[in-house]
């Protein structure tokens, strides 16, 4: 995934009301940007941090910038939760995820289950479809592990149970965690943050759901999928 037009660098002044961030741009202007992340962003909203913003593609939009990246501990982290689906979709199409390579077609946002939409549906004639649910990951509290979730997510637990139902019905179901940073060596569940999600995850695994985790190469010009991370489950 490439950023076009190019991102603008600035310094974070504050994040507030979940979806707003005040930023001082390199030219000295102070602006309010859209924060495309409804989570807690634990450890990723420190005032004074270097951040990168994308200019709005619609002149009529009230907020003229969107917050995309932040630098923390010398590492760039993607905070936009709207990008992981596209990154995984592009990576599957390019054959960069071997575990999901054996499919001829893909569709996004397909209705399934009980009033849900699957992020990515992979299909090939004469074999079961593959339902892929993608979750954005950027939490890192220790020296090595990426963690999910960073806040309580009843919706996330619901998605796991929907995937489990599809697996039991004969489809392939995959929970895909995309870590938008490259300084982690493994993946953990943050069960202390959301015990309900951890319980639903373990139940989903027992019912046939697979789990994959990849990190990302995050740069000011774009984000590419990186390497598969081991999962400490």
For residues 92 and 112, membership in a common domain is answered with yes
For residues 128 and 158, membership in a common domain is answered with yes
Three-class DSSP category at 2: strand
135 assigned to some structural domain: yes
Q: What is the pLDDT of residue 177?
A: 98
Task: Evaluate if residue 180 carries a pLDDT over 90.
Answer: yes
Give the Cα-Cα-Cα angle 57, 60, 62 (nearest 5 degrees): 95
Among 57, 78, 99, the domain boundary falls at: 78
71 assigned to some structural domain: yes
pLDDT confidence bin for 136, thresholds 50/70/90: very high
CA distance 177 to 54: 24
CB 122 within 8 A of CB 129: yes
Percent of the chain past pLDDT 90, that is, above it, reads 92
Number of domains present in the structure of the chain = 2
Q: Averaged over 149-172, what is the pLDDT?
A: 95
Q: What is the pLDDT of residue 232?
A: 81
Three-class DSSP category at 117: strand
For residues 112 and 53, membership in a common domain is answered with no
Higher pLDDT, 116 or 50: 50
Q: What is the CATH number of the domain that holds 19?
A: 2.40.50.580
Q: What is the pLDDT of residue 58?
A: 78
Supply the pTM of this predicted model: 0.95
3 assigned to some structural domain: no
Q: Give the single-character DSSP code of 36.
A: -
As a whole number, the mean pLDDT across the chain is: 95
Q: What is the pLDDT of residue 59?
A: 75
Three-class DSSP category at 158: helix
Return phi, psi of residue 3, to 5°. -90, 115
Q: Which domain holds residue 45?
A: 8-78
Q: What is the pLDDT of residue 57?
A: 77
Helix axes 195-206, 154-168, angle to 10 degrees: 10
Q: What is the CATH number of the domain that holds 188?
A: 3.40.1350.60
74 assigned to some structural domain: yes
2 assigned to some structural domain: no
What digits encode the pLDDT tens for the residues 46-98? Answer: 999 999 999 987 777 899 999 999 999 999 999 999 999 999 999 999 999 99
């Amino acid at each position: 995934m490439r950023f076009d037009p190019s991102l603008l660098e600035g310094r974070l002044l504050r994040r507030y009301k979940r979806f707003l961030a005040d930023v001082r741009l390199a030219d000295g202007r102070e602006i309010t940007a859209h924060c495309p992340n409804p989570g807690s962003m634990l450890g990723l909203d420190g005032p004074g941090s270097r951040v990168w913003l994308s200019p709005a593609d619609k002149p009529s939009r009230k907020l003229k910038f969107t917050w995309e990246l932040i630098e923390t501990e010398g590492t760039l982290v993607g905070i936009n939760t709207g990008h992981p689906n596209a990154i995984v979709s592009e990576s599957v199409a390019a054959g960069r995820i071997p575990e999901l390579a054996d499919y001829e077609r893909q569709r996004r946002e397909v209705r399934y289950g009980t009033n849900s939409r699957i992020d990515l549906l992979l299909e090939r004639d004469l074999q079961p479809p593959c339902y892929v649910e993608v979750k954005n990951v950027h939490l890192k509290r220790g020296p090595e592990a990426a963690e999910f979730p960073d806040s309580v997510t009843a919706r996330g637990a619901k998605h796991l149970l929907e995937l489990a139902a599809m697996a039991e019905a004969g489809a392939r179901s995959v929970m895909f965690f995309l870590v938008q940073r490259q300084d982690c060596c493994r993946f953990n569940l943050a069960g202390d943050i959301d015990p309900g999600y951890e319980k639903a995850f373990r139940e989903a695994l027992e019912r046939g759901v697979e789990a994959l985790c990849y990190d990302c190469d995050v740069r000011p010009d774009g984000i590419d999928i990186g390497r598969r991370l081991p999962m400490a489950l």
